[in-house]
Structure 1
Amino acid sequence: MTLSEEALDRLADVVELQPTKNSELQDRWELDSGSDVHQYLESELSEYYFRDDDSLIRATPEAADLVDVEPGVESDPEGGSIPSKISVDELQSAILSVVPGPDERSASVVAILQRVRAETDFDPDVEDVRAGLKRLRRTGVVDVEYRTVPTYRLAAERSDIDVNVTESA
């Protein structure tokens, strides 16, 4: 199925906003009703979305690959490279709460792991923290600095990033 430019843009919205509802897409796409959203999804994007157990709209993995958008990340509409809104799981939220700020000295994965364990209720292993940091880096909210080992810090002030915590799978 070849998608039009509009369909690709709307598919990117589904990926970015997931999990989402008809009403949220209705607002984003400036449609008249949730029925119009449903009709568009079925006619244009049926291969690239599904509804989860809570009837929320989610994109298929193929959709995310097709539009090259990180799920759950909203970009700044004014073109900034740092997302203004991000959906993360509980561990990634804990990581964001302890990772050094943009003006602070970056910290290693192990240092961030120790901070997560000391300052939150989580006791993750180092690989989970490393994976969380990599995802946060891909979304643009965390920068990496290569010293002896890779080190991380926020790309923007915490107050500039709206974090939506989703349940872990």
Structure 2
Amino acid sequence: MSAGRFRVLVVTASRHGATAEIGAALARTLGNCDAGRAVDLAAVAVPVEQRPDPAPFDAVVVGSAVYAGRWLDGARQYVAMHAGVLRTRPTWLFSSGPIGEPPFPPDVPHDVAPLMGLTGARGHALFPGRLDEERLSFGERSVVTAMRAPLGDFRDWAAVRSWGEELARSLAADSSGVPAQT
């Protein structure tokens, strides 16, 4: 861990912005919750396209939108490229994608288990996503129509905040040597 502020990088791969918004909410929660303030935690959310270097950070969260049961290529490539660094610090993964009530598909994406193994990630969260017809390409709208997928914003902001607080407690416990209360 670095001296001074505890720095967390939240990297997101987002096709239409919903996953990036989840990443931004996580970064805000990490820095603003009680546990985050206790260790002077500073979190920043950065799109995977900017190829942020995880090395200067004390912890990393990588999130991706899910399409056809898989993470976006950019997120998978980022994890593969930085796996060596990610294995040396607390790392978590999250996926955004299930839609509807109840969220469908409810399953963890196929590639999450190998990515967790590659990074030594401490955990993974699966958050419902958003399907906004106005943001979709013509081809995407055709698929959505054919699948009769429900449109709407199904993201669960309370779950996102709760998970962010859980991560902050874990990091605070790491810095103090006291196990986190979860």
Task: Report which of the two structures shows the higher radius of gyration computed on alpha carbons.
Answer: 1
Higher strand share: 2
Where on the TM-score scale, by shorter chain, does this alignment land: which range?
under 0.3
- Normalising by structure 2, we get a TM-score of 0.26
- Normalising by structure 1, we get a TM-score of 0.27
